[in-house]
Amino acid sequence: MKKLATTLFKLTLGILLTASFSLTYAQGTGKLTGKITDAKSGEVLIGASVLVQGLSKGAATNVNGEYNITALPAGTYEVLVRYVGYQNKLISDVQVKGDAATSLNITLTEANTQQLQAVTVRATFRQESASSLYAQQKNNSRITDGISAEAIRRSPDRNTADVLKRVSGVTVADGRYVVVRGLSDRYNNAQLDGANLPSTEPNKKAFSFDIVPSNLVDNIVISKTATPDLPGDFTGGNVQITTKDIPDKNFITFGIGAGYNTATTFKDFKSGTRNATDYLGFDNGKKQLPSNFPSSTRISEGFTAEQNIIAANRLPKNFNIYNNSALPNQNYQFTIGRVKDFEKSNNRLGAIVSLTYRNTQNYYKDLTRDYFDFNYNDQVYRFATNIGGLANFAYTFGKNKITLKNTYNRLYEDQFLQRTGTNAGPGNEQSFFAFDLLQKSLFKSTLEGTHSVGTNSAKFTWLLSYSNVFNDQPDQRKVNYARNIGSNDPFQANVTTLGKENSRLFSDLNENGYTGSLNYTSPVKMFSNTATFKAGLNSYYRKRDFNVRYIGLVLINNPNFDDYTQIRARSLNSLFGSDLINTNRYKLDELPGAAISESYSANSLTNAGYLMLDNKIGKNLRVVWGARVEQFNLDLTSTDRSTIVDQNYVDVLPSVNLTYSLTPKANLRFSYARTLARPEFRELSNFGYFDYEQIATLQGNPDLKKTQVDNVDLRYEFYPSAGQIISVSAFYKRFKNAIETYNFDLGSNRLIIYQNSPKANIFGAEFEFRKTLDFISTGNLFKNTTAYTNVTLIKSKATNPTDLGFNLNYTDRPLVGQAPYVINAGLTRTFMDNKYTFNALYNVVGRRLNVVGGTGFPAIWEAPRNVIDLQFGVRVLKGRGELKLNAADVLNQRALMYFDVNENKKYDAGEQDQTLSRYRAGSTYSFVFTYNL
């Protein structure tokens, strides 16, 4: 797959560069592009005519409602738009510049009678641009929030996870997983260019949004309520990421950036072996198990002395710790866009290819873990390389459009941890080392077609998509030294036995996903108004293979040698030296049964069909209603067949969305929908992953059931003007069999398990405000300043299961991952004709439950932290270049996870509460320079 993706992008880039000169449009002329939509429903209008007055120039809209008029001499024009059954519209002051594309989106109003259609509505370019944006905001059938490419460009965010923090009601956990309306990441669904995105993680149901660079994104929309045409397996939000296809004009853009982190850059930086290919996002293969390494069965059969030496020497043996100076963060991007307009046929061919590169080095100094018997101080060094590529192609011809969108992203994350401290249980002072490389990638290719049928703007769309997720831990190495507390004796390495906490983990996850869908849309007459009928079919098949092995070298206490203690006291770089392996002082061993009882194969098939109607009742009421039926089948089997899961069921998911236009600028919305959340493969498997950072084992549960959720939403929204909004929302969710994580409280070692909580209820409210400050004063200072804030307040109550066999320390508690409040705020200022921009952004998330706890291992909570980001931008080089100076997380408040032992809902450092992790990541100051050719 890696070779396939690399070849694809090389070939694509070569073709585009070769064709770049032939695809340019005539020098000195410009073009007019845009989209025509219904002013009330937002539906695109197919076949509308757009005419440039005074010239014999015009075009008809394609199947996506888009038009494109080329070879226009520079000047100011009037544009006339006509469509059967709608009022004509004449737009003046449309300025076209040479060698540039002018974008003008237009809304049309349906005529009441045939006579009224002859009436021509007049508007200026500026009025119509504002009106179109305003209509787009108002006319979505669902309750949604989102962020545009322009807003992304103005923020300091470099990946999609950072971007999502700016969306109303959205938070990001662990810097990569989305939490919508306070619900944990497992209750959300992600789509890229219309096709589902699989879970990228081996140990949880979540998509890692940090692997998608922000500059590849056209827009992000989060649907907080459901309609039948959306997948049914989301409750918090459906995150839809759209990438660009046909650009408005030809362009080449490149960017370069660098950043300084106050906690890391130019500080001492430790790591395991580092290869040149690490900077390219790929391991050179030397950290992998060799192909001729003995199988689990062969190891269990035993070796002769000579065979043991040969097999043990095949394990990677480099345990050296290297010390360098941490380099500044660096990122590069290159994007090329080409468009060819065929004037006679009005067809268009376009392509965008983008390559991105990012490398970061982060040092988490003095990360504290102080709980129960543990009092540890960790030094964590994380080296990460992210590469991304996008190759999108589109062709519109007549009333048809075909797109091919390809995305490849890869994250290479190499971490070294050094731990010192005490474990009071055995009375040990410890020195622990962990080398941990994680490689994960996503490749996705989507072929989509949109076709108009008949003469009444009916259309059907089809989609075929393939995705591959790869997640590889080639050699997680953990070694622990210990000695009695207060002793001056040398530390002794724990190499006398083999367990998950001191073995070498080799695991790989490979998942292929296949999606196919067919949708039909047609206008119909109902209640004396035009309505829209939609129907569709969808299939989504996933196939995952997960393999894991725990391997290690166990020191043999040979009575013929008297250096047993001296060997255990060796330094890390010589502990597994060739001199010991070649004299059979170590035995190659593997945890018995783990490779076959915890490795698994799984597949699932979701078949869905839906029917829905989008009705206008009278002048002001819009009703979008219907139902979705999903048939789901899942099979999961461990290699030794000790775990077999077979689930097969059908769900009927009704929904209704009502929008009442109180005034031309205000809507009142109501929504009801039934959705669900299905257990993920990992949650059902018997795989027990030892997390050396949390010092706990995460265990799956084959008996998990699906979660069923009833959702009710009410929202009032007011649009003072285009691009501005004031809204107030209330929502309620009722859960049956919510899936949550619990601290299993019956053992001396912490075990995190998945369980179904019988029921839970959520009540919430959201407030959003985005407006220019011209209501304070009409001067440029306030006119060019926009303030925004969104606040979400949530109260939830979950009921604990009664069959766990132990007592929980909270009987009245929130859902896992749910925050009581989320606040996002910002201020944007432009001046000197948009040459300079300034942005200030603020985010805080309330205290949220991470793991439900018992009396022995209490609940784990994540403390709130205030985050402020700043950005200053300036356009240079006659507007072709832009320099952005960014300051991220300037407050640098601590990140904190803790056990609330005294249950007083706050962190009492040094008193009764105990610390799972506490650290400061540092503030990052960076610049990015972008130039458009």
DSSP letter at 800 equals: P
Helix (H) or strand (E) run with residue 522 in it: strand 504-526
- Residue that wins the pLDDT comparison between 733 and 239: 733
pLDDT of residue 212: 65
In our burial notation (b when 16+ CB lie closer than 10 A, e otherwise), range 534-566 reads bbbebebebebebbbbbbbbebeeeeeeeebee
- Residue that wins the pLDDT comparison between 154 and 908: 908
Mean per-residue pLDDT, 586-596 = 90
Q: Average pLDDT over the chain, rounded to whole?
A: 86
Q: Which of 278-282, 447-451, 769-773 has the lowest mean pLDDT?
A: 769-773
Give Dmax over CA atoms of the chain in angstroms. Answer: 108
Whether pLDDT at 516 is above 50 = yes
Euclidean distance between CA atoms 440 and 352, whole angstroms: 24
> What is the distance between the terminal CA atoms of the chain, rounded to a whole angstrom?
33
Helix (H) or strand (E) run with residue 464 in it: strand 458-484
Confidence of residue 802 (pLDDT cuts 50, 70, 90): confident
Dump the DSSP string for 829-896. Answer: EEETTTTEEEEEEEEEE--EEEEB-BSSS--EEE----EEEEEEEEEETTTTEEEEEEEESTT-PPEE
Contacts of 355 (CB under 8 A, 6+ apart): 9, 13, 333, 334, 335, 387, 388, 389
- Residue tagged 């059907």 (tokens): 460
Dump the DSSP string for 813-830. Answer: BPPTT--SEEEEEEEEEE
Whether pLDDT at 728 is above 80 = yes
Q: What is the pLDDT of residues 163-202, one digit of tens each?
A: 776 676 676 766 667 777 767 777 888 888 888 877 766 6
- Residue tagged 């992790």 (tokens): 917
Tokens, residue 879: 């507007």
Q: For the chain, what is the total number of helices (H) and then of strands (E)?
A: 12, 48
Q: Which of 540-549, 558-567, 772-781 has the lowest mean pLDDT?
A: 772-781
pLDDT of residue 665: 85
Query: In Å, how far are 655, 707, 795, 822 from 674, measured between CA atoms?
Result: 7, 11, 20, 25
Euclidean distance between CA atoms 642 and 227, whole angstroms: 40
CB atoms within 10 A of CB 814: 22
Mean per-residue pLDDT, 849-869 = 90
Percentage, residues of the chain above pLDDT 90: 48
CB atoms within 10 A of CB 359: 20
Percentage, residues of the chain above pLDDT 70: 89
- Report which of 99, 76, 341 is spatially closest to residue 932, judged by C-alpha positions: 99
Tokens, residue 924: 């990052």
Continuous H helices in 594-650: 594-597
Tokens, residue 361: 């080095």
Euclidean distance between CA atoms 241 and 546, whole angstroms: 28
Mean per-residue pLDDT, 735-758 = 88
Dump the DSSP string for 260-324. Answer: EETTTTTSEEEES---GGGGGT---STTSPPTTSPPHHHHHH---HHHHHHHHTTS------EEE
Q: Which long-range contacts does 130-133 make (Cβ < 8 Å, 24+ apart)?
A: 130/721, 130/722, 130/723, 131/39, 131/107, 131/722, 132/35, 132/37, 132/105, 132/106, 132/107, 132/722, 133/105, 133/722, 133/723
Euclidean distance between CA atoms 736 and 477, whole angstroms: 41
Confidence of residue 16 (pLDDT cuts 50, 70, 90): very low
Bridge partners for 352 per DSSP: 337, 392
CB atoms within 10 A of CB 113: 7
